[in-house]
Structure 1
Amino acid sequence: MGTPLSPDTAGLGLRRALLDELVAAPAGAFDFLECAPDNWIGVGGRYGEALQTLSSRHPLTCHGLSLSLGGMAPLDDTFLARTRRFLDRHGVALYSEHLSYCSDDGHLYDLMPIPFTEEAVHHVAARIRQTQDALGRRIAVENVSYYAAPYQAMPEVDFVIAVLDEADCDLLLDVNNIFVNAINHGYDAREFLARMPSARIASYHIAGHYDEAEDLKVDTHGAPVKDDVWSLLALAYDTHGVRPTLLERDFNFPPLAELADELQRIRALQGVARTGATQAVHG
């Protein structure tokens, strides 16, 4: 496994549309890159060479798309073995997946919400433990955005905490997803954030979303991060501490310099949080 990332780091999603700019980026433009191994395993040619170049220069984290941790079909042992080899080859220190499912007699090409029930907690936690055993490492799971809420015997926040405890895994805390879900489902984002278990938070995600209506936000990853989400990230740092933070952008790519400006804003918030923590200790 790779060397763990320093907490006060800001990373960028490795997307094929950005490859040339990422390879040519000046030193310090970003601290690490994150890719979905599902999209890169077995890729050769120019893309494979570019990935190898980038992972030799920069720390690489991985965020899976297709394990379907909440699904009913058995986990794909062959895919898990290939993923483990990919993580080992590129020295990946952090691997995460979504707290959702994406298959049902075939791939659904979307991340579907899991019912918030005790039975689902046991089911998902067992599959996370199986995944950790197969990959030979702890993983983090991400709180996801969702728009239709299946049966909920418990609040989302209780479900997330219960899965983390039973699976004994880490959390990739997506700050934008908290904000989007809070608006769409009518809960308090700050209260949800406050209840997340600090000790399990391995990293943060932040992204832009689309304002469909006052009470409907869509998690698009296709726009700059909005001010309310920046404020929630600052609160996350103050509440739980600074962690490696990834800026997600999946389409509508601006010039890399504009994304670098958002990364600088992440670093600035991390610096403010660290200064405040130091003052609290020595004040």
Structure 2
Amino acid sequence: METNPNNLRDLIRLALREDAGDGDHSSLSCVPADATNQARLLVKQAGILAGVDVALLVFEEVDPTLNVQPLLADGASIQPGEIVLTVSGNTQSILLAERLMLNIMQRMSGIATYTRNLVDLIADLPVKLLDTRKTTPNFRVFEKMATRIGGAANHRMGLYDMIMLKDNHVDYAGGIEAAIGRANAYLQSTGRTLKIEIEARNLRDVEEILRIGGVDIVMLDNFSLEDMRVAVQKIGDRFETEASGNINEKTIRAVAETGVNSISSGALTHQVKSLDLSLKAY
């Protein structure tokens, strides 16, 4: 059966196969097969919790007989010393699930924490924070879950659910007009109803896009704040506007104040440290 890259269980099975191989020989060699024990997931660093629902799937996939009791939910603000969940049952199963569960939850919680920090900086403004495709291969679904938990919105999940005409697409197509024309012809010939987004590199590009039309969203990529304000005013309500490029905690507020509809940031997923969590026996 083909693996579905958006199916959580399929991804968990692949990750377990990668980690366990032909067996967890550390546990098999020293822990009796019928031994039972219990452990709790401890918070060691403040942040936003993410991945609890995924952790439940990991434990279930390893051993459905494990008794897992979540004490905190995804999206909770957490502090060192808090207990996220407890697990009891077969000791070998707990040890097999431990590292995968921690890797996923630590990474997701780090992403959710950074995302929430950025969202809070613009919470009073009518603008959405978006994630990007700058994700870890075979881990995108988890990372985009984490940005949602942190308060951002998912942009496109992949190359298949939106047409995004970036600078290289435009250059390879022969220019803005050719790229837009071909994109619309493709949708018409294939019967698809995807949105079309196009990147503008400067105000001249904005003027040309306004002349041609045929798109839904204009990405203002690495614009100065002054040029971004001008572009937003020129575009008005004709198309949605998205700001992109060098978006971080130092720049996001000023960008949001230009009036753009949304702001996308690759930093949500590709420049984030994992949050410190630990599974300990008790």
TM-score by length of 2: 0.39
Which gives a bigger RCO, structure 1 or 2 (Cα 8 Å, sep 6+)? 2
TM-score by length of 1: 0.39
Larger-gyration structure (1/2) = 2
